[in-house]
A and B are shown apart, each in its own frame.
Chain A
Amino acid sequence: MNSFFSPLVKRENPYGKILPFPQISSMFPKKFMSHLDLINKFGLSSTAFLTSYDHYLYFHLRSDQESNSQASIAYVETPTAWVVAGDPVGPKHLWLTLLQQFIQTAFDHNKSPLLLPASKELVDLVRQEGLPSYILQIGQEPWIQLNERRHSSDFFKILPSAKKLQKQGGRVQEFNPLQATPQEFQTVEKLKEDWFQNRKCATLDFLNKVDLFKNHAQKKYFQLVYKGQCQAFLAAVPIPARQSWYLVDLMRSPNSVAGSSELLIIEAMAALKKIGAREVTLGLSPLTPELTSETPNHPNTYKMLHWIYNHFNNFYGFKSLAKFKEKFEPESWEAQYLIVFTPKLSGNLSLSVAGKSLLGLFYALFPKGILHTIIQTLKNSIAQFYPTESFQPFLSSQTILNPLPQQKHNWVLSLPVTWSFVFLILLSWTLNSATVSLGHWTTLLFSTFLLSSLIETFAGPHFMILPFIIGFFSNQLISHSLIQILPHLDFIHKTPLTFFNHLSLGVFAIFGSILVFLNTKTRIGIGLLLTSLVFLSSRSELSFNILIAILLGNFSTQYLLHFRNRRKVQRIQNHLSSF
């Protein structure tokens, strides 16, 4: 038996992005069809069908007599590694030979071979045959049985939001790309764009690449229509050897109603069951903490993975993804692994191999490189960053504040007083630029914008104007009241303050106002920090003035809070009753 390594062939879809859709057999070269044929015959893993996408290279195992491949491996080439996408496709007795030849070829090309996600069966084979490797469980895959014992009504019982949506008129329809109109395609494309825009992480490649209408003839598509609009879209890819389907590209509109994804999946499962599907999978839940059987082998690595699972949810929704899949109460969770093949027999991972593999994995997931990934992630994070939203967990649960504006541009426009303050500071800066350093002005401008925008959003402009005015004139208040009573207080700044000082005291008073709306824990934390900072910084002559400004801001806000809902409301009520 000979094997050969097929070189990378860049294939462009000749028909553009989405339209029209000819039969696949006429579209692709023979070499590619061979892999697809193998998938259709031997595809056991959920990811097998996805390896028929354009960005993979294939390593085939062929006999001399036959031109067709007997088994194949789909992989991507990165600068340091060859990263295999899932189990080999072909008869199981050929897996070992194919793997051995692939590993050898990879090392010959000075590349580190690694494979993910690998099934338990493959891992057992690798261990049994003693292939030098480093094996790590990277997650679990939920499988839902579509047998007579479980009906759609059972899913509706455990997912009431889906049932509610169905009652309200949410309908799931099969989407046929061959019969769909250009408008329908545009809607799906728009949904896809919105879906990607809502992610903080840079777009993932490898098995996470979304190519909705690739090999569409073998896929099934479903869409959720609610009030005449497509709210969510789902693609299902076949797992032929298992008579199962993988519900892969689930996308929903950011404004979709609760239960959209759940209803779409339930109805899609019912439709697939009708055409003979035995089970469906929702795909890998990466880094789920239930990695018990493998943990003793590499305890520190699993600790690290667990830490990533707990702390990197803003970057990639590990927890939310796992919880969503758990909601369907799958019958089984199949473990999925990462196998890094090592050159030595020991099976220990050397630093160079680990480095090469990690880099290879990174390039497989983010083929455009580190810099591009960082820039894209930053760009997405900035686009989705809503300062007030991040501030919300620190707010008091004892006060009902204004809700956040639904759109970011509305939020920016709804801050007239903040912008006036910023303008005032800029104007003062240009007039007094010589007296105070650039750093001080920048700090004042930045803090004014941050504090004012927060208080104006959550509480309204009154809660910043009054404290600011009081803080601005707080020094005069102290001079005319406190110092008259206690003339020996040396630590109070008695000399006239500059305009900059007055402005900064006004901003400190706004800070004092914000404290009223914070939860106790945050308030105590900030209060302690601020007090210690003010008293430790013995250089600042204004320390006491700052504390007084904060306190005045705080008290004035508390008074305003009381006044608005007692007297002002009474006035409006009287006005109401006069009509």
Chain B
Amino acid sequence: MAKTALLFESDLRSSQIITRFLNHVGYKSVLHSQNIENTQELILKFTHKIDLIIFSSAEHLDLESHHNFFNLIAQNRNLDLVPLIFIDCNPTPLFSQKNNKPIHFRIDRLLLRPFNLSHFSDGIIQAHQLRWEQRNHILVLNHAFIESNLFTKKENLGHWSQLHVFTDSKSFIEYFNRNKTKIGALILDPKSCDENITNWCLQLKKKTQDRSLPMVFLSRDPSLIQKFRLIGDLYIDHPQSSTTKLKSTSSMNWEELLSLISKRVLNAWPSRDLIMKTRRFIKTKPQKNIPSLLKKAFKLDENRWEFLLLAGLFAEKQGQRIKAINYFRNTLNFNPCAPLPYLKLVQLVDSPQEHKKLLHLALQYCPHHPQIQSLVSQFSSRGTLQ
């Protein structure tokens, strides 16, 4: 789904260049507005689609117009999660002349003219990061989980300040709707997910603004996560905890899991930028920039499965077979529902027994993937893969 940005800019030339910049960083759809009435109209029409707002101040816009714009954004609760970038003009209207107070507190990132693409993309990343930093509540849906001792080692919990555990889906959804702007991630135990919460999760991922909210599932059992295989960001076996009544199936403990999700959330935008750049380079011939990009990526988050997958693809292109196999296997540790690692692994391993194992797993996690289905039918008819 294309990302949509709302751009308030009265200067035509700047508007054209900013649109190009937005397209470059992944915003394929840009809503242009030149006045408050137009902005209001666009917001009413596309509230749920907007996931970035850029307001460009101009010499002819008075302080009242600025206030009107910010009030318009503030009044719309659906835009609470949307980052706002303020492009300043000279003289700046950013601070009130009376008391030097900012004209509005809603600004996530400021850009000073003149600026170029690199400043702009950094600005977008920081604005998104700032918005995500404010979303420091994490919700857990687990029917038999005891909360009390989870925060024993606070330094390992990343940026999470509150953790709320629910045992029934109704109160979970209610809490989410009430405190939507503060919630940064959802942890769900598939065993606790009834039909109601399953549908709710599927619907949530269709909304532009909630699409990026990470959902972590506490199981890697294919039969349990089958319904969620397209929406999950991480699939982890149930972590260890001294207080949990459930038996742990993972070597990871709760603190490590929360730290992992925190990293994923806070680095979401820089990671997205790196992923886009690396993909672009992998597709094109000159690949000398990829190692440095991957180095940066692993520095940000070494356990992000998207990075592991890209590293695998790059290693495969370089002819480093063993390295590529390791990367793809690691990818499947965090996201067994991704079909590409299976397809790549099948090509890279030689033994028919390995093929059989991989295809068996692939069929369990991605049963409807056409390429996997064709490989399975080929294997079952011939007993080998070409």
Q: How far is the CB of A41 from chain B (nearest CB, A)?
A: 50
Question: A524 contacts the other chain (Cβ, under 8 Å)?
Answer: no
CB distance from A102 to the nearest CB of B (A): 51
User: Please, which residue of chain B has its CB at the minimum distance from the CB of A457?
Assistant: B90
Interface centre among B101, B102, B123 (most CB of A within 10 A): B102
Name the A residues within 8 Å of B117 (CB-CB): 398
Inter-chain contact B112/A569, CB cutoff 8 Å: yes
Q: Is A348 an interface residue (CB 8 A)?
A: no
Q: Indicate if the CB atoms of A403 and B58 lie closer than 8 Å.
A: yes
Interface residues of B in 54-102 (CB under 8 A from A): 58-60, 87, 89-90, 94, 101-102
The answer to whether B114 and A458 touch across the interface, beta carbons within 8 angstroms, is yes
CB-CB under 8 A for A401 and B113, given A576-B102, A576-B107, A579-B102: yes
A403 and B13 contact, Cβ closer than 8 Å, known pairs A569-B111, A572-B94, A573-B109: yes
CA distance A569 to B59 in the complex (A): 20
The residue that B111 contacts in the complex, of A404, A565, A579, with Cβ under 8 A, is A565
Most buried by A among B18, B113, B120: B113
Task: Classify chain A's interface size.
Answer: 20 to 34
Q: Within the complex, which residue of A400, A406, A566 is in contact with B59, where a contact is CB–CB below 8 Å?
A: A406
Contact between chains at B105 and A576 (CB < 8 Å): yes
> B119 — which chain A residues lie within 8 A by C-beta?
565-566
User: What is the bound-complex CA distance between A572 and B111, given in angstroms?
Assistant: 10
CB distance from B213 to the nearest CB of A (A): 24
The smallest beta-carbon distance between A169 and chain B, in angstroms, is: 10
**In the complex with contacts A392-B13, A569-B110, A399-B90 CB distance below 8 A:** no
Q: Does B10 contact A (CB under 8 A)?
A: yes
Type the 1/0 row for A549-579, where 1 means its CB is closer than 8 Å to any CB of B: 0000000000001001110110011011001
A564 in contact with B13 (CB, 8 Å): no
User: Which residue of A168, A401, A404 is within 8 Å of B114 (Cβ)?
Assistant: A401
**Once bound together, how far apart are the Cα atoms of A332 and B296, in whole Å?**
64
Flag whether A97 is at the interface (Cβ < 8 A).
no
Answer whether residue A405 sits at the interface, using C-beta atoms and an 8 A cutoff.
Answer: yes
Please, which residue of chain B has its CB at the minimum distance from the CB of A407?
Answer: B60
Interface size class of B (residues with CB under 8 A): 20 to 34
**Chain B residues with CB under 8 A of A575:** 102
Least CB distance from B151 to A in Å reads: 26
A385-400: CB near B (< 8 Å → 1, else 0) gives 0000000100001111
B113 adjacent to A579 (CB under 8 Å)? no
Chain B residues near A398: list those with CB within 8 A. Answer: 17, 116-117
Most buried by A among B11, B89, B109, B123: B11
- A405 near B59: Cβ-Cβ < 8 Å: yes
B16 to chain A, nearest CB (A): 8
CA distance A568 to B119 in the complex (A): 12
> Among A392, A400, A405, which residue has its beta carbon within 8 angstroms of that of B113?
A400
The answer to whether B113 touches A460, judged by C-beta atoms less than 8 angstroms apart, is: yes
CB of A410 within 8 Å of the partner chain: yes
Taken together as a complex, chains A and B put the C-alpha atoms of A400 and B18 apart, in Å, by 7
CA distance A405 to B112 in the complex (A): 17
Indicate the member of A405, A410, A565 with the most B CB atoms within 10 Å.
Answer: A565
A402 interface residue, CB < 8 Å from B? yes
Which positions in B face A, CB cutoff 8 Å? 10-11, 13-14, 17-18, 20-21, 37, 58-60, 87, 89-90, 94, 101-102, 105, 107, 109-117, 119-120, 122-123
Known: A561-B114, A569-B110, A572-B94. 7 other contacts (CB 8 A): A400-B111, A400-B113, A401-B114, A403-B59, A458-B114, A564-B112, A573-B109
Chain A interface (Cβ within 8 Å of chain B)? Answer: 168, 392, 397-406, 410, 414, 458-460, 463, 517, 561, 564-566, 568-569, 572-573, 575-576, 579
- Pick 26 A–B contacts, CB within 8 A, sort by A: A398-B116, A399-B17, A400-B111, A400-B116, A401-B114, A402-B90, A403-B10, A403-B13, A403-B14, A403-B59, A404-B11, A414-B59, A460-B90, A460-B113, A564-B112, A565-B112, A565-B115, A569-B109, A569-B112, A575-B102, A576-B94, A576-B105, A576-B110, A579-B101, A579-B102, A579-B105
